[in-house]
Amino acid sequence: MSPSALNAFLPLLALLASVTLLGLGTSWAKLALFPLAGALGTTTLRVGFSALLMLLWWRPWRWPLHRRDRLHLLGYGAALGGMNLFFYLSLQRIPFGVAVAIEFAGPLTVALWQSRRPLDLAWVALAVTGLALLLPLGLDTQALDLTGVLHALIAAIFWALYILLGKRVAHLHAGHSVSLGLSVAALVALPTGWEAAASALVQPGTWAVALGVAALSSAAPISLEMVALKRLPAQAFGIMISMEPAVAALLAMALLQEHLSLLQWAAIALIMSASAGAALSAQTDRRRPPAPTCDGGEQPAKA
């Protein structure tokens, strides 16, 4: 393979590895940490150890931080903490791949809200159809738990807020904002999960598992996404990240024995198509001369 071909392939490989490692880390957490700490304790361990790893790696105290940025980082980190907390709560009741697909409603809503193309109505229709197929309405023999679905939808709301608030700190170095944001997220999760997390940490091997989950779920994916973001157009990045629900569902099937029905697979495919289409439309809109009253901006990746 020529150097130019390798340079073109490297960011795609980095993003695929990021999505895969995130799925592996979440599957490992559900398999190894849920029995010991439950969803709340697992969230505290995952986010807490992720924050510790990122703080040690990036050492954000080296950079100055203005007062306005501190307030924005508090909101950004609180949204990140809420997103993780409710996502892990959803994993207690519904399959991993389905939870990711429902959570995608958050960034998809943000992308479609900012678009101005009639074609985007098609992406809205695909997303709504996919979500409707996943709701526990008795249309499927594997109907989902309503509480789990609600938790995933709340996680989607927090993901949308995370994107919007992330734009307020987008001018900071990614390592600076992510490490401090994860620290705030850990403080958000701590009050609800500290007791379960502390009980789990006295069990042999839990420290190693928690560190492994944190590395796979945050440190490695974020680093790989930064590699991809520097080399990929926003359109390609958005389309590639849309494969996350399918990767999560396949990993959950292999590692967690979570088998989905054909209807649920179809719903995931519709949501992925809507996400990829929205990314394509958003990039097309950016190529057009901006209207005087419009304001664009890139969406940060999920941490």
In this prediction, residue 298 has a pLDDT band, given cuts at 50, 70 and 90, of very low
Give the pLDDT confidence score for residue 206 in this predicted structure: 95
Most confident of 111-120, 138-147, 167-176: 167-176
Is 5 inside any structural domain? no
Is 1 inside any structural domain? no
pLDDT greater than 50 at residue 35? yes
In this prediction, residue 205 has a pLDDT band, given cuts at 50, 70 and 90, of very high
Give the pLDDT confidence score for residue 287 in this predicted structure: 52
Give the pLDDT confidence score for residue 11 in this predicted structure: 83
The torsion defined by the Cα of 221, 97, 101 and 223, in degrees rounded to 10, comes to: 0
In this prediction, residue 259 has a pLDDT band, given cuts at 50, 70 and 90, of very high
What is the C-alpha to C-alpha distance for residues 118 and 274, in angstroms, rounded to an integer? 14
Quote the Cα angle for 75-77-83, to 5°: 105
Q: What does the pLDDT average to over 46-72? A: 94
Give the pLDDT confidence score for residue 297 in this predicted structure: 37
Q: What does the pLDDT average to over 32-42? A: 96
Domain enclosing residue 230, as ranges: 11-287
Is 299 inside any structural domain? no
Q: Please provide the average confidence, as pLDDT, over all residues in the chain.
A: 87
Give the pLDDT confidence score for residue 225 in this predicted structure: 84
Give the pLDDT confidence score for residue 68 in this predicted structure: 92
Q: What does the pLDDT average to over 128-135? A: 87
What is the C-alpha to C-alpha distance for residues 34 and 1, in angstroms, rounded to an integer? 43
Give the pLDDT confidence score for residue 236 in this predicted structure: 76
Query: pLDDT for 68-77, tens place per residue?
Result: 999 999 999 9
Give the pLDDT confidence score for residue 179 in this predicted structure: 94
Q: What does the pLDDT average to over 161-165? A: 93
pLDDT greater than 50 at residue 204? yes
When mean pLDDT is compared across 60-74, 173-187, 274-288, the lowest value belongs to 274-288
What is the C-alpha to C-alpha distance for residues 189 and 47, in angstroms, rounded to an integer? 8
Report which of residues 109 and 111 the model is more confident about: 109
- Specify the number of domains making up the chain: 1
Is 303 inside any structural domain? no
When mean pLDDT is compared across 137-146, 163-172, 175-184, 294-303, the lowest value belongs to 294-303
Q: What is the 3-state secondary structure (H, E, C) of the chain?
A: CCHHHHHHHHHHHHHHHHHHHHHHHHHHHHHHHHHHHHHHHHHHHHHHHHHHHHHHHHCHHHCCCCHHHHHHHHHHHHHHHHHHHHHHHHHCCCCHHHHHHHHCHHHHHHHHHCCCCCCHHHHHHHHHHHHHHHCCCCCCCCCCCHHHHHHHHHHHHHHHHHHHHHHHHCCCCHHHHHHHHHHHHHHHHHHHHHHHHHHHHCCCCHHHHHHHHHHHHHHHHHHHHHHHHHHCCHHHHHHHHCCHHHHHHHHHHHHCCCCCCHHHHHHHHHHHHHHHHHHHHHHHHHHCCCCCCCCCCCCCCCC
Put residue 137 in one of left, alpha, beta given phi > 0 → left and psi -120 to 50 → alpha.
alpha
Is 15 inside any structural domain? yes
With beta carbons less than 8 A apart as the criterion, state whether 268 and 245 touch: yes
The torsion defined by the Cα of 85, 124, 294 and 107, in degrees rounded to 10, comes to: 20
Q: Which residues contact 201 (CB under 8 A, 6 or more apart)?
A: 45, 207, 210
Is 293 inside any structural domain? no
In this prediction, residue 5 has a pLDDT band, given cuts at 50, 70 and 90, of low
Q: What does the pLDDT average to over 84-100? A: 96
pLDDT greater than 80 at residue 45? yes
Query: pLDDT for 211-256, tens place per residue?
Result: 999 999 988 998 888 778 777 777 677 888 899 999 999 999 999 9
pLDDT greater than 80 at residue 201? yes
Is 6 inside any structural domain? no
Is 302 inside any structural domain? no
Q: In Å, how far are 148, 192, 264, 284, 295 from 89, measured between CA atoms?
A: 7, 12, 20, 36, 35
Question: 131: which 2 tokens?
Answer: 């979500």
What is the C-alpha to C-alpha distance for residues 222 and 260, in angstroms, rounded to an integer? 28
